[in-house]
């Protein structure tokens, strides 16, 4: 299995990534809402139901389907 992204990874911190979208820093990211998740982000490489999947922003590390970062973009 691929390695999972660490929330403390400097790149994760830089993008405000969290494994649980509900823990996103809403003061820093006021546009965040809890229905924004990696699993419904345009960049998520996994299937919508996958617990973990790839994200091109984090290379070989997998992100949580229920996670979030400030680069979230609505899946078309």
Cβ 71 to ligand SF4, closest distance in Å?
A: 4
H or E element: which one contains 14? helix 10-14
Cβ 37 to ligand SF4, closest distance in Å?
A: 7
Contact 23, 69 (CB under 8 A): no
17-76 residues near ligand SF4, rule: CB under 6 A: 17, 38, 41, 43-44, 55, 57, 63, 67-69, 71-72
Cβ 27 to ligand SF4, closest distance in Å?
A: 18
Rounded Cα distance between 31 and 58, Å, is 22
Length of the chain: 76
């Amino acid at each position: 299995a691929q390695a999972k992204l660490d929330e403390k990874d400097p790149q994760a911190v830089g993008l405000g990534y969290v494994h649980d979208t509900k823990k996103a820093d809403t003061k820093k990211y006021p546009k965040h809402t809890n229905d924004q998740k990696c699993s419904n982000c345009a960049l998520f490489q996994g299937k919508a139901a996958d617990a973990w999947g790839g994200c091109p922003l984090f290379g070989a590390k997998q992100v949580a389907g229920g996670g979030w970062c400030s680069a979230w973009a609505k899946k078309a």
